[in-house]
């Protein structure tokens, strides 16, 4: 791209971001590409399903940027995947991609966590099957066990394995369309697309994957949200029929996903179901020995064994213990972690007193803001656009519902408003959710994020 083209494109992104909700921006704009601007025509490469949205919502943005940068009225020519493949290698078109040196279709954001791999997953008897099946699936996706269903208690490595499968597939084939998503976020996306009336986009996005990794499927069971299970069922079938790999994790077996439709449960059992159980002492020592390499302290063997003896049901606790120790050791400037120091550092964690969780109002404002694409600052300020007002009132509603702050205190946290304003917002939302099912679901979704 020429310098002006780059400036032009950045300006478009900037304007679009300022005009759209963050989630909308991310979904519709982030994966688009400018190919060139020639003879006052901007060629923009786009997912075909998004053309209508651009036509409807971003024309002015392009015009504005065009006048600013090229001092001309810029028209748009949208290009899609197929056009590009068939384009007779116009110099500029092919250059645009080769200079980026990436696959011309980076349309799927995998959302994988790159830190999870098979290499840094310690095997023991408790997870050997799950690891073997995961590696098999990563090596030949869609052909061995489909779906692969991994279940087990919290902190035992399900999310780690799921990401390791995705990372491994992408390493072998960087063009693979891989998506990691929690069932919770699947539901959120579903809600957003219903709201924007763009269900086709969602279908397009999920049904063209090569590998779908769904984490914590049990949360799909809890939701009675009309249509999500249906949509998931259809997605599942579309992928499965095309021999595309699906991997699911859950905190229980398919048969115990009580609120899930039976036809889904049946499908989950089509492939292979594997269980992970808590690591035995040997594995815990191995996990710790591996983990402490990330720290600069010396851990004598007896300290490691002491720690391995303290936490026996959850790898996350083992990692947490190392973090506790690192805090204390840094504070006291200690290099060598004796059993005594370790014991002192993990005392609080061991006591395991279920603490009353106190939810800060700021946290509510942050999560509500994130959901509606509004900043905390805007929530606290006085601007009264529709989105901001809704976000503000929902946040006030939740602040009243989820905390025991007084109305005046809540008002104060919302830019010094009067207590009657808070009460008004509270009553208003309370009444609205009786009528408005989708608002109720939105609020439930936000609540789950806050807890
Ligand atoms: P789950 O999804 O089952 O609740 P996670 O995958 O989030 O558990 O694991 C919790 C933490 O423990 C992660 O940081 C993960 O890397 C680590 N972990 C779990 N099992 C192992 C293992 N066998 N080897 C190395 N790290 C592990
Ligand atoms: Mg997990």
* Paired tokens of 103: 């696959």
Nearest CA to ligand 1 atom 23: 122
Return the pLDDT at 259.
Answer: 82
- Residue 88 is classified by DSSP as -
pLDDT at 133 over 70: yes
Ligand 1: does its nearest atom lie under 6 Å from the Cβ of 400?
Answer: no
Calculate mean pLDDT across residues 420-433: 90
pLDDT at 253 over 50: yes
Left, alpha or beta for 427 (phi > 0: left; psi -120 to 50: alpha)?
alpha
**pLDDT for res 83:** 54
HSE value, Cβ hemisphere, 13 Å, CA-based, for 59:
6
Using the predicted structure, report yes or no on whether residue 411 has a pLDDT greater than 90: yes
Residue 243 pLDDT > 50: yes
Judged against a pLDDT cut of 80, whether residue 95 lies above it is answered with no
Cβ(403)–Cβ(359) under 8 Å? yes
pLDDT tens across 281-313, in order?
Answer: 889 999 999 999 999 999 999 999 999 988 878
Helix (H) or strand (E) run with residue 309 in it: helix 301-310
Ligand 1 atom nearest 216 alpha carbon: 2
* 159-175 confidence digits (pLDDT tens): 999 999 999 999 999 98
pLDDT of residue 99: 34
Residue 100 has what pLDDT?
37
Across the chain, what does the average pLDDT equal?
87
- Looking at per-residue confidence, does 355 or 19 come out higher? 19
Residue nearest to atom 26 of ligand 1 (CA): 121
Whole-number pLDDT of residue 351: 75
Q: Mean pLDDT throughout 24-36?
A: 85
Is 394 a residue whose pLDDT tops 60? yes
Does the reported pTM lie above 0.75?
Answer: no
User: Which residue, 35, 80, 44, 84, is CA-closest to 62?
Assistant: 44
Does the Cβ of 158 fall within 6 Å of ligand 1? yes
Q: What is the rounded CA–CA span in Å between residue 405 and residue 312? A: 38
Spell out the long-range contacts of 96-100 with Cβ–Cβ below 8 A and sequence spacing 24 or more: 96/1, 96/33, 96/34, 96/35, 96/36, 99/1
* pLDDT 10s digits, 321-364: 999 999 999 999 999 999 999 999 998 888 763 444 578 999 99
Whether residue 190 has pLDDT greater than 50 = yes
Q: Tell how far the Cα of 255 is from the centroid of ligand 1, in angstroms.
A: 24
Average pLDDT over residues 8-23: 87
Question: Mean pLDDT, to the nearest integer, of 144-150?
Answer: 93
What gap in Å lies between CA 122 and CA 162, rounded to an integer?
A: 14
Ligand 1 contact via 315 beta carbon (within 6 Å): yes
Q: State residue 103's pLDDT score.
A: 41
Q: Provide, rounded to the nearest whole percent, the portion of the chain with pLDDT above 90.
A: 56
Instruction: Say what the pLDDT of residue 341 is.
Output: 94
pLDDT, mean of residues 239-262: 92
Q: Is the Cβ atom of 159 under 6 angstroms away from ligand 1?
A: yes
Residue from 114, 157, 165, 294 whose mutation best tests the ligand 1 pocket (most atoms within 8 A of CB): 157
> How far, in Å, is the centroid of ligand 2 from the Cα of 250?
8
Quote the ligand 2 centre to 273 CA distance (angstroms).
17
Q: Give the number of other Cβ atoms within 10 Å of residue 32's Cβ.
A: 19
**Mean pLDDT of the region 154-163:** 97
**Buried/exposed code over 368-380 (b: 16+ C-beta within 10 A; e: otherwise):** bbbbbbbebebbb
Tell me the domains of the chain and their CATH numbers: 3-79 (3.30.300.180), 127-275 (3.40.50.300), 281-352 (1.10.8.60), 361-450 (1.10.1750.10)
Determine the pLDDT at residue 166.
Answer: 97
Instruction: Please tell me the distance between residue 163's alpha carbon and the centre of ligand 1 in angstroms.
Output: 11
Q: Where does the pLDDT of residue 86 fall: very low under 50, low under 70, confident under 90, or very high at 90 and above?
A: very low
Dist. CA 356–CA 338, nearest whole Å:
32
From first CA to last CA, the distance across the chain in angstroms is 46
- Between the CA of 105 and the centroid of ligand 1 the distance, in Å, is 32
Cβ 175 vs Cβ 103: under 8 Å: yes
- Output b/e per residue, 10-28; b: 16+ Cβ within 10 A: ebbbebbbeebbebbbebb
What gap in Å lies between CA 426 and CA 396, rounded to an integer?
6
Classify the phi-psi angles of 446: left when phi > 0, otherwise alpha if psi is within -120 to 50, otherwise beta: alpha
- Tell me, using a 6 A CB cutoff, whether residue 121 lines ligand 1: yes
Q: CA-to-CA distance for 112 and 106, rounded, in angstroms?
A: 14
Beta bridge partners of 349: none
| pLDDT average, residue stretch 315-324 | 94
Give percent of the chain above pLDDT 70.
91
Q: Which residue has the higher pLDDT, 231 or 434?
A: 231
At 131, which helix (H) or strand (E)?
Answer: helix 128-139
Q: How far is Cα 41 from Cα 66, in angstroms, rounded to an integer? A: 10
Mutate to test the pocket of ligand 1, among 155, 287, 322 (most ligand atoms within 8 A of CB): 155
Measured N-to-C along each axis, helices 419-435 and 386-402 cross at an angle, to the nearest 10 degrees, of 100
Structure tokens at 109: 């954001």
Distance 215 CA to ligand 2 centre (A): 7
Residue 18 pLDDT > 70, yes or no? yes
């Amino acid at each position: 791209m020429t310098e002006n083209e780059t400036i032009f494109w950045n300006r478009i992104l900037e304007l679009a971001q300022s005009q759209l909700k963050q989630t909308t921006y991310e979904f519709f704009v982030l994966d688009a590409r400018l190919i060139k601007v020639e003879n006052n025509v901007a060629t923009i490469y786009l997912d075909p399903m998004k053309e209508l949205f651009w036509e409807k919502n971003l024309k002015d943005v392009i015009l504005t940027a065009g006048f600013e940068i090229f001092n001309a009225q810029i028209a748009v020519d949208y290009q899609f995947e197929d056009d590009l493949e068939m384009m007779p290698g116009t110099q500029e078109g092919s250059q645009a991609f080769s200079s980026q040196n990436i696959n011309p279709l980076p349309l799927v954001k995998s959302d994988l966590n790159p830190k999870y791999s098979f290499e840094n997953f310690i095997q023991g008897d408790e997870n050997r099957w799950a690891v073997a099946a995961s590696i098999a699936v990563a090596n030949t996706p869609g052909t061995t066990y489909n779906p692969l269903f991994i279940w087990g208690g919290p902190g035992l490595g399900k999310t780690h394995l799921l990401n390791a499968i995705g990372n491994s597939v992408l390493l072998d084939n960087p063009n693979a369309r891989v998506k990691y998503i929690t069932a919770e976020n699947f539901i959120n996306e579903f809600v957003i697309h219903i709201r924007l009336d763009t269900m086709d986009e969602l279908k397009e996005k999920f049904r063209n994957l090569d590998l779908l990794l769904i984490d914590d499927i049990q949360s799909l069971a809890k939701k009675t949200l009309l249509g999500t299970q249906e949509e998931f069922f259809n997605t599942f079938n579309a992928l499965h029929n095309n021999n595309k790999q699906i991997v699911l994790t859950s905190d229980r077996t398919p048969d115990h996903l009580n609120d899930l439709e039976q036809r889904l449960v049946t499908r989950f059992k089509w492939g292979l179901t594997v269980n992970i159980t808590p690591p035995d002492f040997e594995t815990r020592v191995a996990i710790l020995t591996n983990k402490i390499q990330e720290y600069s302290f010396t851990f004598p063997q007896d300290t490691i064994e002491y720690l391995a003896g303290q936490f026996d049901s959850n790898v996350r606790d083992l990692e947490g213990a190392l973090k506790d120790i690192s805090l204390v050791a840094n504070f006291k400037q200690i290099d060598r972690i004796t059993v005594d120091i370790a014991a002192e550092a993990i005392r609080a964690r061991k006591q395991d007193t279920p603490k009353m969780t106190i939810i800060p109002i700021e946290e509510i404002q942050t999560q509500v803001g994130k959901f509606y694409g509004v900043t905390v600052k805007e929530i606290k300020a006085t601007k009264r656009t529709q989105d901001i007002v809704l976000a503000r009132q929902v946040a006030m509603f939740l602040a009243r519902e989820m905390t025991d702050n007084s109305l005046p205190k809540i008002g104060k946290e919302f830019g010094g408003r009067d207590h009657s304003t808070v009460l008004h917002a509270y009553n208003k939302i309370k009444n609205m959710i009786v009528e408005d099912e989708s608002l109720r679901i939105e609020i439930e979704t936000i609540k789950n994020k806050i807890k």
